Structure 1
Amino acid sequence: MRLRNTLRISIALLLVFLASSVLMAQNNTEPWVCYPTANTTGYGVYHFRKAFVLDTEPAELRVHISADNRYELFVNGQRACFGPAKGDLKTYKYDVLDLAPFLKEGENIIAVLVFNMGNDKPMAFISAQTAFLFRSEDPVFAFINSDQGWKTFRNEAYDPILYEELDTRSWVKGYYACGPGDEVFADRYPWGWETLAYDDSGWMVPEVLDFQGKAPWNLVARNIPFMDTHMETPQAIRRAAGVKVPPGFLKGRSAITVPAQTQARILFDYEVFTMGYPELTVENGAGSALKVRYAEALYEGPNIKGHRDSVDNLTMYGVFDIFHTDGEKRTFRPIWKRAFRYVEVDITTGEESLQLLSLRSQYSGYPYPDMGTFESNDPQLNELFEMGLRTLRMCSGETYYDTPYYEQLSYGGDNRPIASISFYNSTDDRLFREMMRLYPQSVNQETRLFKSAYPSRFNFDQGTWSLAWVQSLWDYFVFRGDTAFVQQLAEPIEGVLNFYLYNLDESMGLLGPIHTRNFMDWSMHKGTVPQPRPRFVLRHSAMLTLYYAHTLDCAVKLYEMLGEEEKARYWEQVSAKIKTAVFIHCWDEEKQLIADFPDKKQFSQHTNILAILCDAVAPVSQPALFDRVVSYEHFDERASSYFAFFLFKAMQKAGRGHLFLEHLDFWEGFQEKGFTTFGETGFASHDRSDCHAWSAHPSYYLLSLVCGIQPADTGFNRVRIAPNLNGLQKVSASMPHPKGRIQVHYQVVGGKLRAEVVLPDGLSGDWCFGTEHIPLNSGVNRIETLL
């Protein structure tokens, strides 16, 4: 009787369990888990494992994976992917991956590293709490979903090196926001945890998180590709102290032996700026400590960098990691990417000698498989072009970056020149669209402006960068004619335009007072901005008013293309009125320039550049005004290498494209100082970032202005070829286009220009040179004309 009752009870419990399991499967479509008792927002590194057996290898096994803050996935010991792509809680990303290529018949292991970098996590990380999600698209494989069938372990080997310990302010100007360094103790690390052979019997069962259908992450699928990854190695050892370096080390033919009770220091040079995940492999040397420091360049003193190729008598300073050895063969790899040209390894050994076996790095950046090309008879110009493309690659990851070393943040103002470069080097616009889509999600509900950078945890908005976002949408539309994408952003466009409309002083028609941050450019003189500091109130600024007018002009053209004629005419009238007001109040007849303010005490290149771009002066007067912009010697502020993006646009608009090669001083200066990417400003007073993609636009202008490859209509359905060779004798260039590759070849012979223009099938256009206008057809077009 007792057995029968027990059986009945067991059957009843089983039915209840099965019913509840089905209900859970129906309701819990986002199976988030975490380590039990984990600090939900604090620093922590966690491991998750799931072992399972397959009777046969599946043809396909698509899974979704995500984590807060980040994850790294291994399948059968092989690194498969890492993510998720950056986003925010409104559109938190999960990655989709086919596991089938990594699986085998029989026993398999899925292993996932999950980490939360705590209070000092990169400013671009938006987080709710430590958590991990894994699920199969196919219900047949639901047994691999993240649940209590997994095992988890908290890794106590990690101790974060916080910002105050990195001490970035001592030698480095400005803001650092890329997360803490890693201090790792090898004797605490669960080595081999990602392999099937590892014994996880002592690991815990994860906690299943129940949010009652209200998880803080609104999950959406990753909408950009996985990062390009490949291995890179240092090209030279520039100096070594306390140790002898055998000649075959960099080629992997020998190891560096550091004797016991020794302090040694080795400086590695990758010879170009790069980014990714360094991997330092050592053996023996129990009780040794290795400090791995990363830098763009070496320093003459605090805030003063030396020539980028120089190391003698210079100080290596930068953020760092620390690895403590346990005597076994181990590889140290930081959990988040680093950016560097130089890597210095500072070694302190204990009672045993240490073998340094290798140093290499896994590059991580957005894939650009089919970039533009430029080759001329000027080797320095060719190098400049390649430096610009390298800068673009280094500043493209899961978002565009301002600087990969210091911030890895996506700023609305930076993104305009970055996007223009990318349009000439890729037909893959997914990263651009993601940046444009994400940015309005940071909207301030009161002002309708967006954050300075986003994704970010900043709590302030930025007016000018919100305007730049509108400008960038117009640039995109010119190239792609993507009506559907732009239409969905109509509301945030209106919000930005209306904020400035509400802040117009109707008595003068100029903006002000403005109670928001309005960065325009770095100052040549003060290391600040050509306006008062961002927190100050701006009143009647011609520069800001014309920047608004330029944005309105972009918006008007967008509305016209979208068929919104009423909105187009309305904003066109607003723009016309404020341009007239700027000219009335700020034009200086004696100087033949527009002043920055109505009192006419301050003048900048910036204001007059913008006056050309938005037709605040009549088109017939623009060539003369541009000549004043580049010749007037008494400006209070001059454009940096960033704002030169607008200078060159004004140059092109004013018909002065033949002057382009005469105004590359900033970039020639970068080359003279040994840069391999382009820096932040070009001003000696602001020598912070060696890699800043807002300065890389000469690579764009070499194709669009010098080679003259330009969209002839919105959507780039036709091409306009209007070269400005600026004295070059020979040029060959190409760029990707959705229909194929556009190629141009120019050669100057005996006072004549011989041109060959090759257009892909389905693309036609026009040749415009001097007074010549010749139609171009798909295929090879050959033209000979007098210079």
Structure 2
Amino acid sequence: MKRCAMLAVVMAMVALSGEGRAADQAWTGQWIGVSQPSEPNQWICYRKTITLDDKPTAASARIACDSKYWLWVNGELVVFEGQLKRGPTPSDTYYDTVELAPSLQKGANTIAVLVEYFGRPSFSHNSSGQAALVFELSTPGGKIVSDKTWKAKINPAFGTTDPPLDNFRLPEANIRFDTRQAMVGWNGAGYDDAAWPAAVEFGKPPAKPWGKLYARPIALWKDTGLIDYENAAELPAAGRDEEIIAKLPYNLHASPYLKIEAPAGKVIKLHADNWHLYGDRRTAELHRHEYVTRQGVQSWELPGFINGHEIHYQIPPGVKILELKYRETGYNADFVGKFECDDARLNTLWKKAERTLYVTMRDTYYDCPDRERAQWWGDAVNEIGEAFYVFDAERGPMLAKKGMYELANWQRPDKVLYSPVPSSPPPSWEDFKTNKLGQSGYWGRELPRQMLASVGWYGFWTYYWYTGDKQTIVDVYPAVRDYLSLWKLGDDGLVIHRPGDWDWTDWGEQKDVAVLENCWVYLALKAGVAMAKLTGNDSDIADYQRRMQSIEANFNKTFWQGDKYRDPKYKGQTDDRANAMAVIAGLAKPAYYPAIKQVLKTQQYASPYMEKYVLEALYMMDAPAQAIDRMKTRYAEQIDDARTTLWEGWGIGDKGYGGGTYNHGWSGGALTSLSQYAAGIAPTSPAFATYHVLPQPGSLKKMHSVVDTPCGLIDMTFKREAAQTSITLVSPAKTVATVGVPRDRAVKTITINGKVAWAGGAVKALPEGVRYVGADEQWIRFEVIHGEWKLTASE
């Protein structure tokens, strides 16, 4: 079976068995735990010894818990941080499937599981209120399941640091591990657990409070194992009064490790470099952790992760350092996509955007990996668009699919969509809306413009267009339709403003909300039409089109002021975002483009979130040189900065917005602009069955771009010399590509694979597999089947 078809089948199977529906197979294992009440930041150890007649050839385990687990088999670490944050719906839980056959042996086998229970409300996890584990292992000889024959005990070594605590939005706590209380070797085969109490049974799935169990739709984390720091040779051999700074190769999810020889009672502190920049602010309060020594040689690894460019160890004098290492874990997809050009600054920007994207991917898309770790959908929309140009086409899109199901499944009874989800719904909506709950970690507020982006052209529809995954759209469309029904038109034929629960449009100043809101609604309705057609809901189309036509009829006569877009009621400075979005939505007439381009030269109010759309608008108006100039100007400080990721605002900490993180998911839109528009690679039908390569080089003379698609790799090289421009394309099987030779320079002849195909404005003999499509002001276009093609244009 060809790759296109295989990936389509994979995506459809995941849609049917993963995010959208709970497991069909019944569970026989019991939810088990301890008799003591569940408390925040509680860590529970589980053990079970089983006997197998033979080493199994296959042994699949299904595992779920609230909230995270680490799994050992016969003393070997098999899973480092399993379990996705809860939940796929407000009532339910995910489960993992893990193949254990390689770790099992004939005879006695010891299974040990450490469960971390968050136990508090947050912006990224919905606590069930009860710490527990359920486990089922299927072998050729039968099932081994969790029940009261297992042993379970609270790990007394785990506690929480003294204040200041971590951010109220996070479910994970600051860990204080006192190894003097540790049960040394508890996860190994030879440990004596005879004195441990039996586990308490709480019922079989779908028992409450955990609900139905949904299959984990993304892979377990990539895991490097323990590796050396970049400056390992320079790290000291003994503790000291100053911090020990261990350098990472780039911003990443790190689990610090130490091996030391120490007297008892010494306190070692751990945090990342970002804690010093903004992590001790009330709005940030990043994670920091502590380890208390026992007498002698000992080692410890932080479960979970912190992120940054450096790990700072505070190891006091009197402690001998034997090893300092770290483990990198992260979202499990391959880095396949590339963009390289002859402008080193743009290469740096693209790579920083790539790294920013990856560090904001884990259980969900994140806004930031330190302060919140939450799936804000304004960030997610930008991240989804970038991911198609960075990762492999099979696993890369899975996080977007998961997020789409979550957004739809968490829709409120009043049809409102909101994010971040999963999160913790407030116990009292009235108290939440009146802010009586304060900074409690509960969430349920709608940000209307973000939700429009999510269900619209750049959110759900972009996912479908790049993957061809129809079933996911079928499943989420009812939620989209319900949400779009909330948006009404006024007597002026334009959108009635919906403030939602947080009337947020973008960070920064000078936001022309009325113009922006009409653009976002129009794009959401446009996607609604496309989704309704795709899913067979044709009866919905007329209403969407009626509202679109009304916006079309009234938008320009209300907002176009002759040289710019402005709401007549708006009193601030002319908004670059609003003018760009008019182009993006297709509401701006081409005759307005020169004036809009001038606005985008002088106005710079967009945050990095909305800057993506400003840059895209410039490319859509055939202004690639201006797009590159603006890109390099706006991101100049970030390009020059030594850090490997892009910021929440145009500054860090107090100079930024909303906390000023130096790694923020929404900030990498320039990556999409360069891959999709500068290199010009984008699908023209679902899943790249047809696509175009329409370069807009601007000032660039060389570009190399690689994009993985459901049909295989697209590899394009663009070169421009004194009087010649060439495009070399390697196109995958089962695709048809439209390749455009740019007309920003005079073109006299075009050869394709060495044969003259176009000269003097006329088509000549074409190679087999090539068809002339036509020409306009920007490109001379040819359609080519799969294979390797070189188009050379001479002046």
**TM-score range with shorter-chain normalisation?**
0.7 to 0.9
Change (3 A) 1:150 1:599: closer
Change (3 A) 1:517 1:621: farther
Q: Does 1:716 pair with 2:677?
A: no
Question: What is the CA-CA distance between 1:624 and the residue it aligns to?
Answer: 2.0
SS at match of 1:775: strand
Change (3 A) 1:717 1:27: closer
Tell me the residue number matched to 2:751. Answer: none
Q: Equivalent residues in 2 for 1:1-40 (5 A)?
A: 29-37=28-36, 39-40=37-38
Question: What is the CA-CA distance between 1:382 and the residue it aligns to?
Answer: 2.1
Tell me the residue number matched to 1:74. Answer: 72
SS at match of 2:482: helix
Question: What is the CA-CA distance between 1:643 and the residue it aligns to?
Answer: 0.6
Distance 2:147 2:525 in 1: 52
Tell me the residue number matched to 1:48. Answer: 46
Unaligned runs of 5+ in 2: 1-24, 425-442, 744-774
- 1:225 alignment partner, one of 201, 219, 222: 219
Distance 2:181 2:280 in 1: 37
Larger relative contact order, structure 1 or 2 (CA cutoff 8 Å, min sep 6): 2
Give per-residue Cα distances to partners, 1:575-595, cap 9 Å, x unaligned: 221343333333323xx2222
* Larger deviation, residues 595-604 vs 674-683: 595-604
Give per-residue Cα distances to partners, 1:409-468, cap 9 Å, x unaligned: 11111111111111122212221111101111221212x122221111212233222212
- 2:594 alignment partner, one of 614, 624, 633: 624
CA contact (8 A) 2:460 2:473 kept: yes
Question: What is the CA-CA distance between 1:264 and the residue it aligns to?
Answer: 4.4
Tell me the residue number matched to 1:324. Answer: 292
- 1:650 alignment partner, one of 617, 633, 646: 617
Question: What is the CA-CA distance between 1:318 and the residue it aligns to?
Answer: 5.2
Tell me the residue number matched to 2:393. Answer: 427
SS at match of 2:486: helix
Tell me the residue number matched to 2:55. Answer: 57
Q: Percent identity?
A: 20
Tell me the residue number matched to 1:265. Answer: 243
Change (3 A) 1:400 1:756: same
Question: What is the CA-CA distance between 1:178 and the residue it aligns to?
Answer: 5.3
SS at match of 2:609: coil
- 1:569 alignment partner, one of 530, 537, 542: 542
CA contact (8 A) 2:448 2:500 kept: no
Tell me the residue number matched to 2:566. Answer: 595
Change (3 A) 1:83 1:767: same
Change (3 A) 1:112 1:622: farther
* Larger deviation, residues 456-465 vs 106-115: 456-465
Q: TM-score scaled to structure 1, two decimals?
A: 0.84
The aligned length equals 703
Tell me the residue number matched to 2:730. Answer: 758
SS at match of 2:170: coil
Tell me the residue number matched to 1:241. Answer: none
SS at match of 1:290: strand
Q: Which amino acid aligns with 2:59?
A: L
Tell me the residue number matched to 1:112. Answer: 113
Distance 2:111 2:671 in 1: 44
Question: What is the CA-CA distance between 1:301 and the residue it aligns to?
Answer: 12
Q: Does 1:469 pair with 2:454?
A: yes
CA contact (8 A) 1:52 1:109 kept: yes
Distance 2:255 2:280 in 1: 27
Tell me the residue number matched to 1:495. Answer: 482
SS at match of 2:730: strand
Tell me the residue number matched to 1:671. Answer: 639
CA contact (8 A) 1:550 1:614 kept: yes
RMSD: 2.8
Tell me the residue number matched to 2:577. Answer: 606
Q: TM-score scaled to structure 2, two decimals?
A: 0.83
Q: Which amino acid aligns with 1:577?
A: S
Q: Equivalent residues in 2 for 1:254-653 (5 A)?
A: 256-258=237-239, 263-296=241-274, 298-299=276-277, 319-349=287-317, 353-425=318-390, 426-428=392-394, 429-446=397-414, 448-457=415-424, 458-471=443-456, 472-501=459-488, 504-506=489-491, 509-512=494-497, 514-524=499-509, 530=511, 541-589=514-562, 592-596=563-567, 598-599=569-570, 601-618=572-589, 620-633=590-603, 638-653=605-620
SS at match of 1:621: helix
* Larger deviation, residues 190-199 vs 561-570: 561-570
Distance 1:322 1:560 in 2: 56
* Larger deviation, residues 431-440 vs 374-383: 374-383
SS at match of 2:238: strand
CA contact (8 A) 1:72 1:112 kept: yes
- 2:187 alignment partner, one of 187, 194, 198: 194
Tell me the residue number matched to 2:789. Answer: 781
Q: Which amino acid aligns with 2:686?
A: T
SS at match of 2:696: coil
CA contact (8 A) 2:607 2:649 kept: yes
CA contact (8 A) 1:282 1:331 kept: yes
* Larger deviation, residues 710-719 vs 748-757: 710-719
Change (3 A) 1:595 1:358: same
CA contact (8 A) 1:596 1:607 kept: no
Question: What is the CA-CA distance between 1:377 and the residue it aligns to?
Answer: 2.3
CA contact (8 A) 1:541 1:597 kept: no
CA contact (8 A) 1:234 1:271 kept: no
Q: Which amino acid aligns with 1:265?
A: E
SS at match of 2:136: strand
Distance 1:369 1:587 in 2: 45
SS at match of 2:487: helix
Give per-residue Cα distances to partners, 1:532-585, cap 9 Å, x unaligned: xxxxxxxx8232222212221222233334454442232122022134333333
Distance 1:230 1:43 in 2: 26
Distance 1:153 1:677 in 2: 41
* Larger deviation, residues 763-772 vs 393-402: 763-772
Q: Which amino acid aligns with 1:327?
A: Q
SS at match of 2:548: helix
Distance 1:767 1:230 in 2: 40
Question: What is the CA-CA distance between 1:59 and the residue it aligns to?
Answer: 0.9
Change (3 A) 1:615 1:705: closer
Unaligned runs of 5+ in 1: 1-25, 169-174, 238-246, 305-315, 532-539
Q: Which amino acid aligns with 1:347?
A: I
SS at match of 2:608: coil
SS at match of 1:209: strand
Question: What is the CA-CA distance between 1:293 and the residue it aligns to?
Answer: 1.9
Question: What is the CA-CA distance between 1:492 and the residue it aligns to?
Answer: 0.6
